[in-house]
Structure 1
Amino acid sequence: LAQEGQFRQRSSSCHCVPTSLSMAVRGLKAVALAACALAVAGKVQLRHSSHKAADSSLHVGSFVTPLESKHQLRVCNAFANSAAMDVFRGAESLTAETPMPYKSCRDFDAPLKSGDKLEFRLGDASSGTFSVADLPNNDAVLLLVIHRHDSVSGAVSFESHVFAALESAQVAVIDTY
């Protein structure tokens, strides 16, 4: 069973960032953007003035490197079973030391990108695969919960949530019953 998903906020009514903080962040983004624009303009002028008069072309080199977001993966095993769950990203076992028993969560420093597949196994049998479709563009803790699809079959389902990089406490309530 494969399921494609994206890490997202669980509820559209969740307002995790206070309005005043949100406005301050927007103001800081505007200041940072203006500073980058001024720095680029200064570099263009500097590069242009160093060229010989005969060379009328302007070559602008990029000195701005894109920031990479840091994502921490938090997996919770809500799949009721006496056997512990193994988690794989491709061929790499994330739980090589110790599989995850039912009712446990674990943090992994496993950089993810769109298209990655996380496979969940009970023993040698694959229980399900979560395909990463989309990731946030900022630092975040990515929560992925595996649980039973229903009480009759052994099929799995996934729930995902993104915890923003805030200093305040955050809680995600996920009903997997």
Structure 2
Amino acid sequence: MKKQLLLINLGLTVVTSSFASLPFTSNFFIDKLNQSKASVQKIMKSHDGYADFSGHWVGTCDNEPEEELTMVIKQSSDSSSIEIDNKKILIDAISTEAVNQNFETEGNIAHYRWNEDGQSILGTLLQYSKTGNMSQGDMKSYVGKFSLSKDNEKLVINFTFSVFTDGILNNNITSRCVYNKS
């Protein structure tokens, strides 16, 4: 098994370094980045206003209806970011976070974006966590999507996630949370 992992790592190193040394690579990615920026600007200009999610919200989720949840959302004046419980989240950007401690690691990659009419925030997420010795297995991964929208002045958050343990799908979670402004 260790030989297989070593061969895979070596193969990835060779492929990655070969690709990175190609003379057109940097221009290729710069061109793609500029195209991406232009398409985001087109989407952002395609409507007059964004939904405003700012406020102090209290609600419940259908998977745990007895647990009352609260959150405070602040939305930037240009709608380029939101702050949920004092944690700033950029919209139309990919964010990453990771924490590594003794026998514990966790992290996520998230992408928040406005839908085409600016009335919902859509997101995708990859999250991982591992506690204990790496050789003991039990690596958890969560892959999913979520949305924030307003329905009759209520904040509605829908999410769907697939849960993997050591690369094996073991659960799909779908939930809907509804919050009232307080």
TM-score bucket of the superposed structures, by smaller chain: under 0.3
Compare the two structures and name the one with the higher strand fraction.
2
TM-score, with length taken from structure 2: 0.26
Structure with the greater relative contact order (CA < 8 A, sep ≥ 6): 1 or 2? 1
* Greater C-alpha radius of gyration: 1
Structure having the larger proportion of residues in helix: 2
Normalising by structure 1, what TM-score? 0.26
